[in-house]
Structure formats: C-alpha cells, structure tokens
C-alpha cells in the first residue's frame, strides 16, 4: 500500500477532510526541504491526491497532523505497533492494570507522546527526591 493511500484511509477512519489535514500541516509549519517554504494548499492537495510523491521529511508532520505514529503510515495494521509492548506486559500480574493504558498509547501523536514522556520523567525525578528526603529523616 502506498503512503498516500494509507493517509487517505486514515483520513476516512478519523473523518478528517483533506482540507482540514492541509490546514493542520500549514499550522504545524511543514516546510519544503528544497525551498524552506510552507507548501501552498494546492501543492499539499497534489501530495494527498498522489500527483506528487510525498517526501520523507514530510512524514513526521503528516503523522503529527493525523495524531498517529509515523509507522502507521506504512502499515494498515494498528495492532503491529504495540505487539511487543503487549507481549511484555499483558500477562504479568503487576502490569495488568496498565494493559488498557498501553493500548491507548496508539492514539497519542508523536508530539503528545514526547510531552507525556517529559511529564513522567519530571514525576520520576520528584518521586526520587521525595524518597531520598524520607530516607534521610527516617
């Protein structure tokens, strides 16, 4: 399956119009590698209609605008993205509470996943700091 076909499939699944996707891409500041300029609506439509090949540097912007992982543009099987994570944690008693959370990760855009990681790292640092203070007092 071509990337452009997969994009159009995702647009249908998410009920997003090509116009809305084009506007999202412009708002994200997607720039053409050669010119360094934001593509026009008509050139974005040409990409989405398959008249112009989608460039590799556009993939992260398209994935972010669609709220998906980049890998999903190359696969029509959502399950593949989290197969390894599910294998690692699904049958472990301590981690069964996280199975639903792990499945929801597929709906995070790459940018939101990055933000979530930052938040979790901050919480980890604060927890370690509190634990250290508690150990000193007791």
Same domain, 9 and 68: yes
- What local confidence, expressed as pLDDT, does residue 88 receive? 59
Residue 36 lies in a domain: yes
- What local confidence, expressed as pLDDT, does residue 7 receive? 92
pTM above threshold 0.75: no
Q: Domain holding 9: CATH number?
A: 1.10.260.40
In the predicted model, what is the mean pLDDT of the chain?
81
Residue 81 lies in a domain: no
Same domain, 12 and 51: yes
Same domain, 99 and 68: no
Highest averaged pLDDT of the listed ranges 10-19, 66-75, 112-121? 10-19
3-class secondary structure, 53: coil
The DSSP secondary structure of 64-126, one letter per residue, reads HHHTS-GGGGS-S-GGGGGHHHHHHHTT-GGGGGGHHHHHHGGGS-HHHHHHHHHHHHHHHHH
Q: Rounded to an integer, what distance in angstroms lies between the CA atom of residue 87 and that of residue 79?
A: 12
Same domain, 22 and 65: yes
What pLDDT digit, counting tens, does each position of 76-94 carry? Answer: 555 554 555 556 556 666 5
Residue 44 lies in a domain: yes
Per-residue pLDDT at 35 exceeds 60: yes
Residue 87 lies in a domain: no
Total domains in the chain come to 2
For 51, the domain range is: 3-76
Same domain, 12 and 62: yes
- What local confidence, expressed as pLDDT, does residue 34 receive? 76
């Amino acid at each position: 399956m071509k990337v452009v076909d997969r994009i159009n499939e995702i647009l249908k699944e998410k009920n997003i119009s090509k116009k809305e996707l084009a506007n999202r891409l412009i708002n994200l500041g997607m720039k053409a590698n050669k010119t360094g300029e934001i593509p026009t609506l008509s050139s974005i439509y040409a990409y989405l209609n398959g008249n112009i090949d989608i460039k590799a540097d556009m993939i992260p912007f398209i994935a972010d605008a669609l709220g998906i992982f980049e890998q999903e543009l190359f696969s029509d099987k959502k399950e593949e993205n989290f197969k390894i994570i599910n294998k690692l944690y699904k049958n472990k008693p301590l981690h069964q509470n996280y199975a639903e959370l792990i499945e929801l990760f597929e709906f995070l855009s790459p940018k939101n996943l990055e933000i979530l990681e930052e938040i979790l790292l901050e919480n980890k640092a604060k927890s370690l700091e509190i634990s250290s203070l508690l150990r000193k007092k007791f």
